Structure 1
Amino acid sequence: MLLPNLRGDGAVGMMLALAKGFSGYSHQVDLLIVRAEGERSSSMPDGVTVIPLRAKRPLFAVPALVRYLRRTKPDFLVATEHYSGLPALYAIILARTHTRCVIRQDNTWGMDSQRFTGRHKIVTPWMVGRLFRRSEIVAVSKGVARDFVDHFPQLANNVQVIYNPVVTAELRERSLALPEHPWLAPGEPPVVVAVGRLTAAKGFDLLIDAFARVTATVRSRLLILGEGPDRSALQARIRAHDLESACQLVGYQPNPLAFIASANVFVLSSRFEGLPTVLIEALCTNTPVIATDCPSGPREILADGKYGMLIPPNDVGLLAQAISESVRRPPPRDANLNAWLQQFAADTSVKRHLALFDASLASLPPS
């Protein structure tokens, strides 16, 4: 399994969860870490072998990958999206091994590819269209799959949907922990919690703008968990709204579930997603959830709004209104929620990945 780094984001967390699951079924699992740094560097799953590749990014790790593949000859190399998937395929081709490649598509291609600049706008889609046919492509949601096939119809037969391995017994235990933050102590005003990497995709700027409207009518507080390049800009936005006493960026937290479970409302304000893991985790804590109806994942997870409120993306006014209503009158928990969440269970996801591996090995190798 090829990981570009060990950051605290959801994609890395899901790869580590899969690694733990595969190892639990007695498969030998090697974690090939391009750059062994990040918040998860001290939380490797048991039963796996960690192999640092010591490169700046996946493309520069191709020579080390080729040497590894020739030496070890694994059955599968699992990577994520084009950033790691293309280097993985380059290495397999150069190593001339029979290793099969599985590429997990975690985000919608249409939104993610908007960040391409220069020659990458042409070269990267062309390479994906040419080389991804040599791989099994796992879309983490139906929305991600539809979007990917819309852009690469020639790869439709390579794509299947397998939800992320999110719901575990450990997850429920972690949600029972007491968070170390004074705002979440008994008797304090209601607290809204959001979790994610501090980037434009997560829409925390919109959330802060909306929360400024909420505090005008409802006494409440906002905690945003996570780190990222937009920290300074978000902190400036908090100051501009004079929210220092009601809104905090509390950084990366190893157990965000404790914060979510103790909060009055959880908000996902993203502009785009693939299958937001933290939204599924929030449902497991029984905390009321609000999510933007962005591409893609929230509508699938919330069953078209049955298990949480869906708000149009980029609508600050409706987001503020939804938060205010949820703080004042928390909605009741749906009795069918636990059964609904089983499709996101870790063992369900692991078994479906293993079935994909078996089916791939039973077919002819890519030419």
Structure 2
Amino acid sequence: MARVLHISEFTKGGIETHLNEVLKYQSDNHDVYLMASEQNSSVDSLSISPDRLHLYPYKRSPKYFLKAMQSIRRMIKQVNPDIVHVHGTFAGFFLRTLFFFKRKRPIVIYCAHGWAFLMDTQSWKKRVFAGVEKLLSLRTDYIINISQHEYQMSMNYGLSSKKSVVVYNGVSDAQQPSNSLPFVVDKDKINLLYVGRFDRQKGFDLLLEVFNEHRFTDVTLYLVGDTVLKESEFDYPSNAVKIGWVDNSEIDRYMKACDAVIVPSRWEGFGIVAIEALRNKKPVIASNRGALPEIIQSGVNGYIFDFDHKEELVNIIQGLSKNELEMMGETGEKIFYEKFHSDKMNKQIERLYVDALKKQGDQYSVTVNKYV
């Protein structure tokens, strides 16, 4: 048993789903703690007891960065962890900067949950982000990539192959079916569901643009989520239903009510919503960005469209058939259990912990091809 401290910037969204899966599994094997910011983190929906959860004052603004690092330093001194498992770019920067000139430190496992240098931004910014990640990797024992795409791109940007592994995100079985659906759907229409932040990364603007330009009279679009870091105003199409944030424990009910889930991301480290859809026997309409083509096989468990050619998305929506969607949903569930169940993810992470603890203090990490 090890004392493990998880650190994250925010927890709302897919990161909360991931953390809850890991925390629930590790609580039986380790002495586990979680640290996250007060902003966009929920005490009630995190799978950890309040006495093991520390929320620190924070906003994504430079004036809060030093305060965040001070809070992390105090927490590490208090908990004295064997392993610090850090989630996300900002949390990874705060923690590893603190350790940069320290000779003695706990084991550091880092997962960016989507590399900053793969965002849709200018080339010079990507090079800067990659340079910072390479520098901070010197104070990292293992780097978890959440997809083969993330792994290969990190190699292209020069990160260490000796420290890098691939561990697909995973989720556990769907919630027990409920007799009541969260809303009444028109069974004569194709009912599509979007789940996630209403922001540029998730391709939310493209989705609304397509639905505003093409009034799909036989399609209803349900929108679960909202903005996170800043407020934005959107022009919602007439056949869209805005629902707002839904507790993750309720997501299965919303997915079961619809015919398919749509994930139109501009960039995506993984796409937990996609595998949540598969476990609910729902096919996924996804962009060709990031890891999504590793999860969705076009015509098998959903459809892939080229983000740069939105007419492909239009054609897919116009050609949807309930019968075909239902058959692809059955196939999707089988793929979920083969590749994306949380048991597989958690066992891989546990093996990383074991290897790291065995080799604590060694100068070099072991070859990790067995994880890739």
Q: Which TM-score bucket, shorter chain as reference?
A: 0.7 to 0.9
State the SS of the aligned residue for 1:215.
coil
Aligned to 1:269: 264
Aligned to 2:353: 357
Inter-partner Cα distance in structure 1 for 2:42 and 2:242: 19
Q: Deviations over 1:29-86 (max 9, x none)?
A: 11012x2233633112145711223344555322222233233321111112331112
Amino acid at match of 1:308: G
Give the alignment partner of residue 77 of structure 1, picking from 84, 92, 111. 84
Inter-partner Cα distance in structure 2 for 1:344 and 1:329: 25
1:66–1:95 contact (8 Å) kept in structure 2: no
1:152 maps to 2:151: no
Inter-partner Cα distance in structure 1 for 2:329 and 2:322: 19
Report 1:139-178 matches (<5 A): 139-153=145-159, 155-166=160-171, 168-169=172-173, 171-173=174-176, 176=178, 178=180
Runs of 5+ consecutive residues of structure 2 not aligned to the other structure? 1-5, 364-372
1:227 maps to 2:226: yes
Task: Note closer, same or farther for the CA distance 1:13–1:288 as it changes in structure 2 (3 Å cut).
Answer: closer
Task: Note closer, same or farther for the CA distance 1:364–1:27 as it changes in structure 2 (3 Å cut).
Answer: closer
Aligned to 1:252: 245
My pick for the range that moved more, 12-21 or 155-164, is 12-21
Task: Note closer, same or farther for the CA distance 1:78–1:58 as it changes in structure 2 (3 Å cut).
Answer: farther
Inter-partner Cα distance in structure 1 for 2:356 and 2:130: 24
Report 1:203-218 matches (<5 A): 203-212=203-212, 214-216=214-216, 218=217
State the Cα distance separating 1:151 from its structure 2 match.
1.0
Q: Deviations over 1:163-186 (max 9, x none)?
A: 1131x13x242x64634334x3x6
1:177–1:258 contact (8 Å) kept in structure 2: no
Task: Note closer, same or farther for the CA distance 1:85–1:177 as it changes in structure 2 (3 Å cut).
Answer: farther
Aligned to 1:292: 287
Paired-residue identity, %: 18
Inter-partner Cα distance in structure 1 for 2:306 and 2:129: 31
Amino acid at match of 2:40: G
State the SS of the aligned residue for 1:18.
helix
1:32 maps to 2:27: no
2:120–2:267 contact (8 Å) kept in structure 1: no
State the SS of the aligned residue for 2:165.
strand
Inter-partner Cα distance in structure 2 for 1:137 and 1:61: 22
Inter-partner Cα distance in structure 1 for 2:78 and 2:42: 28
Report 1:107-122 matches (<5 A): 107-112=114-119, 114=121
Amino acid at match of 1:306: V
2:266–2:307 contact (8 Å) kept in structure 1: yes
1:53–1:61 contact (8 Å) kept in structure 2: yes
2:193–2:222 contact (8 Å) kept in structure 1: yes
Q: By percentage of residues, which structure has more helix?
A: 1
1:172–1:284 contact (8 Å) kept in structure 2: no
State the Cα distance separating 1:366 from its structure 2 match.
6.5
Amino acid at match of 1:141: S
Task: Note closer, same or farther for the CA distance 1:113–1:59 as it changes in structure 2 (3 Å cut).
Answer: farther
Give the alignment partner of residue 23 of structure 1, picking from 27, 30, 48. 27
Q: Deviations over 1:183-235 (max 9, x none)?
A: x3x6564321111101111112221232245535x42211111111676432x
1:104–1:137 contact (8 Å) kept in structure 2: yes
Inter-partner Cα distance in structure 2 for 1:58 and 1:22: 29
Inter-partner Cα distance in structure 1 for 2:119 and 2:209: 24
Inter-partner Cα distance in structure 2 for 1:89 and 1:177: 48
Inter-partner Cα distance in structure 1 for 2:189 and 2:119: 38
Inter-partner Cα distance in structure 2 for 1:100 and 1:260: 39
1:345 maps to 2:350: no
Runs of 5+ consecutive residues of structure 1 not aligned to the other structure? none
State the SS of the aligned residue for 1:138.
strand
Task: Note closer, same or farther for the CA distance 1:105–1:258 as it changes in structure 2 (3 Å cut).
Answer: same
1:104 maps to 2:111: yes
1:310 maps to 2:304: yes
State the SS of the aligned residue for 2:286.
strand
State the SS of the aligned residue for 2:194.
strand
Compute the TM-score of the two structures, normalised by the length of structure 1. Answer: 0.84
Amino acid at match of 2:311: G
Report 1:319-338 matches (<5 A): 319-327=313-321, 330-331=324-325, 332-333=327-328, 337-338=332-333
